[in-house]
Amino acid sequence: MKVSREAVALVAGIALCILAVTPFVLAINYFDWGVSLVLAAPAFVWLLLWAGKKLERWARNEPDTLPPDPDYPDEEA
């Protein structure tokens, strides 16, 4: 049985979100100082989106480099 990279990336992404978001939300809910974590929530969400993008590139076997600029296709970075 062969498992595709997309399926592995999807399961890893879901597991990452569950394992990261659950303690974050519980800390906000149960601790008095947890309310201050709300200020860190945008950065936390950005990190999860960044990790998801990395997982997608890995699943599709794409390079991590930026695509060439369409305005200047002859220039190499």
Total number of domains constituting the chain: 1
DSSP state of 77: -
Residue 49 lies in a domain: yes
What's the pLDDT score for residue 11? Answer: 96
Question: Domain limits at 46?
Answer: 5-59
Residue 22 lies in a domain: yes
Task: Name the pTM for this structure.
Answer: 0.74
Q: What is the pLDDT of residues 11-61, one digit of tens each?
A: 999 999 999 999 999 999 999 888 899 999 999 999 999 999 999 999 988
3-state per-residue secondary structure call for 20-76: HHHHHHHHHHHCHHHHHHHHHHHHHHHHHHHHHHHHHHHHCCCCCCCCCCCCCCCCC
Q: Say if CB 54 and CB 5 are below 8 A apart.
A: no
